[in-house]
Amino acid sequence: MAALDPSEGDRAMSPQNAGRTARERARAELTREIKEEARRQLAVVGAGGLSLRAVARSLGMVSSALYRYYPSRDDLLTALIIDAYNAVGDTVEAAAASVPAADGRARWMAVCRAVRAWALANPHEYALIYGSPVPGYRAPQVTIAPASRMPLAFARILASAAPPGAAPPGAVPPASLAGDGPLARQTAALAAALAEAGAPDVPPDALVRAVIAWTQLFGMLSFELFGQFVGSFEPADALFEHAISQMAAFVGLR
Amino acid sequence: MAALDPSEGDRAMSPQNAGRTARERARAELTREIKEEARRQLAVVGAGGLSLRAVARSLGMVSSALYRYYPSRDDLLTALIIDAYNAVGDTVEAAAASVPAADGRARWMAVCRAVRAWALANPHEYALIYGSPVPGYRAPQVTIAPASRMPLAFARILASAAPPGAAPPGAVPPASLAGDGPLARQTAALAAALAEAGAPDVPPDALVRAVIAWTQLFGMLSFELFGQFVGSFEPADALFEHAISQMAAFVGLR
DNA sequence: TGTACATCAGTGAACGCGCGTTCACTGATGTAC
DNA sequence: TGTACATCAGTGAACGCGCGTTCACTGATGTAC
């Protein structure tokens, strides 16, 4: 065991792997394995049906042993939710990074495709975070930060590509964005929050259009995943490509 | 009891109420009451947690008695799903009828607002039909017809208001709709199905735009209801009004 | 109109199952001297 | 390096609960003569 090798003694503070006792290693590994098994079960029974006993059974443990790793069923669920948000966040950030920042339209399309690919590959994790809430479960504060990674990435695309102030063709004069109406105030607050989180400035009109396009994307994904397209736009590949292209134009990305 | 009144004997064939025995009346009433109690519980425990025993308990019956009315839990769930789809259908059709057919834009806005009002008033029924599928439950064929009432109503608005062939301003040339690509074929099939269901002709470009707007609407509603807007666009009234107005323009309704 | 029989609603007990969580315990791993 | 003690992972039994569904039954309602 590496931890018993004296030559590694000076890495004792490394959080990665070295310098940890066998116990610590085993604990980290099992914590991960429990979560993975729970994720596997999620795909079969859904979030509401996730059972600690079933997870323990699959791992060859006794159910009470899980309480050494997660204090309750809801905490395990929270861990899964955080992981799912982070998986979307990773996906979206990687997709954005794979396309030059200047080509906003291509970036938008790449990110949309990446989200869809992830959702199709992980439908139950998608449902866990974007579907109906799990009854009786209240998402704790810790889920907020991972949840905001994806919208933040969308905002960054917009900010680095949309020419500030350029109204897209055919824009309805955003009367509801003028003055200090509720939408104008909410949008300003959101823009400020985004700026604080590291995204550059986005004009309010573009921001609201992005939110609309963003909800369109997820509405379309939910319809595809939850079966509202059966018998019409299934498979939805062609509709999806068309829609994200149209929405890119709607947002003002060219 | 009216059924025992000989003066009503000639209404014996009326399916409404007269001429039915006390047994038949009681059965119809209880069938409805069970469904209503189940709907009430849905709002507390969600679809996955709906329990026949709990419903029976609330009605002061023994759980086995419910099997005289619904052969299984899933059949009760199916009844709730059909009711929910019909409630949306009623809502949408009534909203559409309340605005002159010629004013397509106003009709569109009225229908969107009506759907939102229904969803906010009945969040768990919304989740039941547009949220994540209930694990282990497979929706039977009978749900298809009620489910299609709402999209059909949207199509009718479009057909009776969109000037055929008029491309909305700022339209991206629908290259993916040309020829016989997958999207063109799916759209043509959908248009044919709509025509058969009674909706007049809609040009393919407008139809696809309507589908995009339609998914936007439901994406926005799901985000609002399932909590993705907390801390930004909540309350979502202003965003909603703005979005459906923008989408009306996107679809080509003026 | 009155009686005999058939239908059906609702009961209560039971089957067999699963769940989350607690708790006293054992044995292995880690730490301090 | 070796020993004594502390920490911690995992066990197995238990508590108290809930679930869907079946089944033989009783008593009320409906129907045919």
Taking only the tens place, the pLDDT of each residue in A186-234 is 999 999 999 888 777 888 889 999 999 999 999 999 999 999 999 899 9
pLDDT of residue B13: 39
Whether nucleic acid strand C comes within 7 Å of the CB of B59, the answer is no
Extract the tokens encoding A233.
């736009």
pLDDT at B174: 62
**How many angstroms separate the CA of residue A170 from the nearest CA in chain B?**
5
Q: Model's pTM, two decimal places?
A: 0.90
What is the arithmetic mean of pLDDT over A148-172? 73
Helix, strand, or coil (residue B70) = coil
Confidence at residue A203, expressed as pLDDT on a 0 to 100 scale: 87
Q: Which residues of A touch B196 (CB under 8 A)?
A: none
**A84 CA to C27 C1' distance (Å):** 37
- Tally of CB atoms within 10 A around B107: 26
Greater pLDDT, A84 or A231? A84
Q: Does B217 touch chain A (CB under 8 A)?
A: yes
A72 strand C contact, CB < 7 Å: yes
Tell me, what's the pLDDT at B14? 40
Confidence band of A19 (pLDDT split at 50, 70, 90): low
pLDDT band at A235 (very low <50, low <70, confident <90, very high): very high
The pLDDT value given to residue B41: 95
What pLDDT is stored for residue A55 in this prediction?
98
Residues in contact with B192: Cβ distance below 8 Å, sequence separation at least 6, in sequence order: none
Nearest to A212 among B183, B227, B246 (CB): B246
Tokens of A212: 């609309």
pLDDT given at position A240: 98
Say which amino acid occupies A45: V
What is the structure's pLDDT at B33? 98
**pLDDT recorded at residue B166:** 52
Q: Which of B31, B25, B33 is nearest to B1 (CA)?
A: B25
pLDDT given for residue B17 in this prediction: 55
Please tell me the least confidently modeled range out of A18-22, A94-98, A113-117, B40-44: A18-22
pLDDT for res B202: 85
Share of residues in chain A with pLDDT > 70 (%): 87
The Cα–Cα gap between B185 and A207 comes to 34
For residue A254, what pLDDT band results from cuts at 50, 70 and 90?
Answer: confident
**A23 Cβ within 7 A of any nucleic strand D atom:** yes
Is the pLDDT at A104 greater than 50, yes or no?
A: yes
Contact A245 B172 (CB under 8 A): yes
Distance of CA A80 to the CA centre of its chain: 12
Locate B134 and state its tokens: 């209930």
Residue B242 and residue B62: Cα distance in Å, rounded?
A: 51
Give me the pLDDT at residue B1, please. 32
* A55-70 confidence digits (pLDDT tens): 999 999 999 999 999 9
Q: Collect all residues of chain A within an 8 Å Cβ-Cβ radius of residue B132.
A: 46-47, 127, 131-132, 226
Task: Give the pLDDT score at B112.
Answer: 98
Question: What count of Cα atoms within 13 Å lies in the side-chain half-sphere of residue B168?
Answer: 29
Flag whether residue B209 sits within 8 Å of chain A, measured between CB atoms.
yes
Angle at B206 between CA B203 and CA B207, to 5 degrees: 80
Looking across all nucleic acid strands, the nucleotide with the smallest C1' to CA distance from residue B53 is D19
Cβ B46–A45 below 8 Å, yes or no? Answer: no
Name residues whose C-beta falls within 8 Å of residue B39's C-beta, 6 or more positions apart in sequence. B80, B83, B125
CB of A141 within 8 Å of any CB in chain B?
no
Q: Specify the pLDDT at position B163.
A: 55
Along the 254 residues of chain B, how does pLDDT read in single tens digits? 333 333 333 333 344 555 678 899 999 999 999 999 999 999 888 998 999 999 999 999 999 999 999 999 999 999 999 999 999 999 999 999 999 998 999 999 999 999 999 999 999 999 999 999 988 888 999 999 999 999 999 999 988 775 554 555 445 456 778 778 899 999 999 999 998 887 778 888 899 999 999 999 999 999 999 999 998 999 999 999 999 999 999 999 98
